[in-house]
Structure 1
Amino acid sequence: MISRFILVFSLIFQTFGVWAQDSIPVNTRTRTYFSPTENFVSQLYDNPAINYYAHTFSISEIQIGWKQQNANKAILPQLGSEVSNFSFNAFSYMPLKANSKVWGSAYFKKGRKEKVEWNEASDYLMVYPYVVADSIGGEMDFEEYYFAGGYAQEHERLTWGIYGNYRALIEYRKIDPRPKNIVSDLRASIGISVKLNRQYLAGIALHAGKYKQTNDLKFFSELGSAVTYNLSGLGMDYVRFRRGATSIYYDGERYGASIEILPRNKTGLSGAFGYEKFSFEKIISDLNDLPLNELKQNEMKAELAYTSFQSVHQWGIRTKASYQKRKGIESLIGSASTNVYEKTGEAEQLSVKRTDITLSGVYGRDKNQRLTWYVSPRAGFNSFEMEYLDPARVMKLEYLSGGMNFFASAGYKKSAFQLTLDGEYRNNSTADLQLTEINKEQIALAGVYAAYDNLSTNNWTTNIELRWNYTLPKNRGIFIKLNWQHDSYKSDLHRETLQAHCGFVF
């Protein structure tokens, strides 16, 4: 299966490269595509009709890679402290005709997560806190597949576009406790844009998706099984479903809309606003499809920028903001009759609010192919608050952050070198954890305490990336990319991440 995936997409993207036949030198296209200015505004391109104006050149890339991440302890126990994986990635963006463009991407990952605790589900940050958990945990093997593609066509005043992606994930463990999780995540968008005048465009897009995850947790040891918990937030769980209800599935959907305005030549004021509603039910399949929890999430995000990328001196300023609110509803379950439970009502018990605001800028010079450089400072505010209503429990965290990114690209004969240096410091300005009605049976609180101890401390991140590109005949190229990242927390937590990739560009 893996070899077939790699072979099929290698052939597809090589075919794309034959179609494209861009006359711009491959090293120039690579330098431009990965420069901070080309990707300075990003939310606009959630509209597939706007994505028609993302790039003025074609580029395709196929790469294989490796990642190794190790920490002395997990930042979030539910995600594990170590990750290693092999990956295959491919993407392409190109004109088909004078007035149409197509783009696509695909990846495959195979690897392992180590020391996962208090979580036996996949996509934890999507379905939290409604997961089945236990105190043992362990490693999780995984395979992940992703496919995406879009098409846009420009007419005299109107441009239309469509886009879709699909992600499939399987995670499992070969020793007790033995989860087997299967994820299916499908998303699609359709959009249009209209030319307001010679410079500006306005667009609107609709987005929808379907999410499904199945979990089947089993024990085969003759010595017995560990206690399992159906968690509901901040250490709470359904007491009556301990040691059972381990075959579950999540049934979810999403829909939303966005509006955009931008200059066609990337010089001027641009803005984007989007709204998305995501909801799912957690259902116990081995208890006659009993709906145990429902989560409803509303998210708004906005991006406003002014850019000037047409002259030798290129600069821009941007602000991004997002607000997410999650509402958790628990089912009220009546007495069992012949092991059949009935939902008799529901109660809203959980509230999660998250706010992220970032102000950033970029300045640099792109005078010739020999040397290009940019500096990109940024500052941000982040807030997270989770509240459980009865019994009253709350976790609140706030951060102020500042960072700087430096990008440089230099060419010499057939070679081109890219260097990226990035650093960020996050200062915890507010940290509060209040828990009431604690009893000795609520051992799942261990995961809450561990996460709070790490997230409530100051931390900093350093990242270095090097990339070497070499031009081959027929305007194609090869590359090698190395990346190192260090994360350090004042809670005596540190994490190292190493990545290496190589591949072809055409």
Structure 2
Amino acid sequence: MKNQYDSERDFKVNIFYNPANMLDYSSSSFSELYVDYYNQKDKIYRQQNGSEKQGFGVITNSYQKLNKNKVLWGSASYQNLKTKRIKYNENLDFDRVAPYISSDSVGGDLEIEKYQFSGGYAQKFNQVTLGAQASYNAQLGARARDPRINNTTSELNLKIGLKYAFYRNFDVSLYAEGERYLQNSKVRFASKIGQSLVYQMTGFGFYNSLFSGGTTSLTTVNEEYGYKFGGGINHKEGKDFYILAHIGQSNMLKSYKGTSNRFYDLSDLNKDYFEVEGAKFFQIADHRLGVKLNYLSNQTTGKEYGYTNNTQLLEQIYKRLSYKRDETITSFSLLYSLNKEKFSLSALPYFRMQEIKDQRINPYSGQKFEYSIIGLIIDYKHKIANNQVLTFRPFFDIKSVTSSKNALTTIDLSFLNNWINQDYNYLASDIQTIGASLRYDIKVEKIPALFVETGFSNSRIQSKNNNFSTVMVGITF
């Protein structure tokens, strides 16, 4: 169990983004299957994300060492959840498609089903290790009352990697990744009277007036293609030190289906990603120490298409830069672990500095935030009998706003102004989170090991409490 749920492996999880490094993921095989029930109730929340999530999932994953030079891994999951009181957002994956979302002022609850499949294989040939992984994710989102939603998403991801051992336990690794993401969104109204208006948002309450308004049915499509490259240098399979870097880019095109079944391009969303990380580990008797530095940059730009309807047919007349978002996160993390025959203990303290600059261009509207985040995760496992293990994981996370500024432009619709101001106040709020999980594992003869786990967390924001709870039951084998 210590090998299957290893805190150090979680600490350096970025190494295993390259499938060629998965041969070093674990020294033994393991699999698990479990059912998860969870409930989240928020008193202070972003309206576009909803106030409550409740659902269950069935999750399985496996890592199989075929021999010392071959490994096979995979995972699959199904989730069914209900998100309540969503407003101003008729899309799935808000953070991925924002600010170019479809919005209305009514909203409602949303039923969502999620499916996930992934699998990979790695093999070592003398000094060279090759690896590949494929994954597929899909979602179905629906609402049975006006405004009625029928949303689907699909995401296909392919990765290949290479690792070359070149000198005295040193190795260099490279990987390449490509992905395609598609979201089809349909909003319709059964009622012929009292329909709310649906707006094609362009950021900070502004919207595309030509393609917004009342209609019995509207369809939008978000299609994204992206790639990522990366590489690193490891010493002793990353157990002594490692340095790695990732760079990536993606482009998402949003289109609107017109009355003549013609699609009109509304916006392009371009994202640039860069990450670099380094870690060093020390072994002092039974004590294991680790130090990690990470820098992450996400840059997003959005371009809008403009049309004229002065002629019989809509004609595109411009495409211009209209949105920019820059985010940087600098992280410093530590690892301490101690392994004994009867127990193991690990502590992972961390500190992060985050800066977000979010702005619309022409007309200008924007906001800027600076955060400092400090936290600690503790993992304690105790062998209470030869066939029983108890795991306790307390944690805390304190997010402090060191600076918040805005220059928000007032628009002509008061309810959209209220939404943007409420969203700013949420993002400009300190959040203190504490929580813990407790897990019990037991191995009974001739059947797989059983486990049950329960967890709870509380987030304090604007003097209100947001609560999350979960219960899991499963087997390991």
Interval containing the TM-score (normalised by the shorter chain): over 0.9
Letter in 1 for 2:406: L
Task: Give the conservation status (yes or no) of the 8 Å contact 2:291–2:334.
Answer: yes
Aligned residues of 1:117 and 1:447 also touching (Cα < 8 A): no
CA distance in 1, matches of 2:102, 2:237: 50
Structure 2 residue ranges without an equivalent (≥5) = none
- Distance in 2 between the 1:310 and 1:195 partners? 27
- Could you tell me which residue of structure 1 aligns to residue 299 of structure 2? 325
Distance 1:448 1:482 in 2: 36
Residue 191 of structure 2 is aligned to residue 221 of structure 1:
yes
1:62 corresponds in structure 2 to: 33
Q: How far did 1:345 drift?
A: 1.7
CA deviation profile, 1:408-436 (whole Å, cap 9, x unmatched): 00002211011101101111011011123
Query: Which of 331, 334, 345 matches 2:308?
Result: 334
The verdict on how the C-alpha distance between 1:146 and 1:464 changes in structure 2, with shifts beyond 3 A counting, is same
Deviation by residue 1:340-384 (Cα, 9 ceiling, x = unmatched) = 42222201010001111110101121022x111112211110111
Counterpart of 2:94? 124
Question: Which string of whole-angstrom CA distances, capped at 9 and with x for unpartnered residues, describes residues 260-285 of structure 1?
Answer: 12123543120110011111100002
Per-residue CA deviations over 1:301-339 (Å, capped at 9, x if unaligned) read 12110123695211101112210000000001121655x
1:432 corresponds to which residue?
405
Equivalent pair of 2:247/2:274 in contact (CA under 8 Å) = yes
Q: Equivalents in 1 of 2:6, 2:455: separation in Å?
A: 16
Shift of 1:460: 0.8
Q: 1:231 aligned to 2:201?
A: yes
Determine the structure 2 residue equivalent to 1:182. 152
Instruction: Give the drift of 1:481.
Output: 0.8
User: Cα distance, 1:150 vs. partner?
Assistant: 0.5
- Judged with a 3 Å threshold, the aligned counterparts in structure 2 of structure 1 residues 493 and 341 are, in CA distance, closer, same or farther, namely farther
* 283-292 or 263-272, larger mean C-alpha shift: 263-272
1:402 positional shift: 1.0
**Are 1:173 and 2:173 counterparts?**
no
Query: For 2:7 and 2:236, how far apart are their aligned partners in 1?
Result: 18
1:479 and 1:504 in contact (8 A); partners too: yes
Structure 2 residue corresponding to 1:163, chosen from 122, 133, 142? 133
User: How far does residue 241 in structure 1 lie from its aligned partner after superposition?
Assistant: 2.2
Pairing 1:79–2:49 present:
yes
SS at 1:352's partner residue?
strand
2:32 is aligned with what amino acid?
Answer: E
Distance apart, 1:207 and its partner CA: 0.5
Partner of 2:474: 503
Q: 1:449 aligns with which of 421, 441, 446?
A: 421
Match of 2:362 among 371, 383, 390: 390
Residue 354 of structure 1: SS of its match in structure 2? strand
1:15-30 matched pairs, under 5 angstroms: 30=1
Q: Distance in 2 between matches of 1:312 and 1:115?
A: 51
1:296 equivalent in structure 2: 270
Please say if 1:43 is aligned against 2:17: no
1:255–1:278 contact (8 Å) kept in structure 2:
yes
Kindly tell me the number of residue pairs found equivalent between the two proteins: 472
C-alpha change, 1:171 and 1:309, in structure 2 (3 Å) is: farther
Q: What letter is aligned with 1:426?
A: K
Give every structure 1 segment of 4 or more consecutive aligned residues whose post-TM-superposition deviation is greater than 3 Å: 308-311
- Structure 2 distance, partners of 1:235, 1:337, is 29
Where does residue 100 of structure 1 map in the other structure?
Answer: 70
- 1:236-251 matches, cutoff 5 A: 236-244=206-214, 246-251=218-223
Give, as a single letter, the amino acid of the residue that structure 2 aligns with 1:364: S
Which whole-Å CA distance do the structure 1 matches of 2:183 and 2:464 have between them? 32
One of 234, 237, 242 as aligned partner of 1:270? 242
Q: Calculate the aligned-residue CA RMSD, in Å.
A: 1.5
Distance 1:313 1:251 in 2: 49
The answer for the alignment partner of 2:112 in structure 1 is 142
Secondary structure at the aligned position of 1:448 is classed as: helix
CA displacement at 1:98 relative to structure 2: 3.2
Moved more, 161-170 or 235-244: 235-244
Q: Which runs of 5+ in 1 are unaligned?
A: 1-29
TM-score (norm 1): 0.91
Q: How many Å apart are 1:33 and its aligned residue?
A: 2.5
Distance 1:167 1:68, change over 3 A: same
Q: Do the aligned partners of 2:205 and 2:411 also contact (CA within 8 Å) in 1?
A: no
2:251 to 279, 301, 307: 279
1:404 to 355, 371, 376: 376
Structure with the bigger percentage of helix: 1
Distance 1:337 1:386 in 2: 36
**Within 5 Å, which residues of 2 pair with 1:345-356?**
345-356=318-329
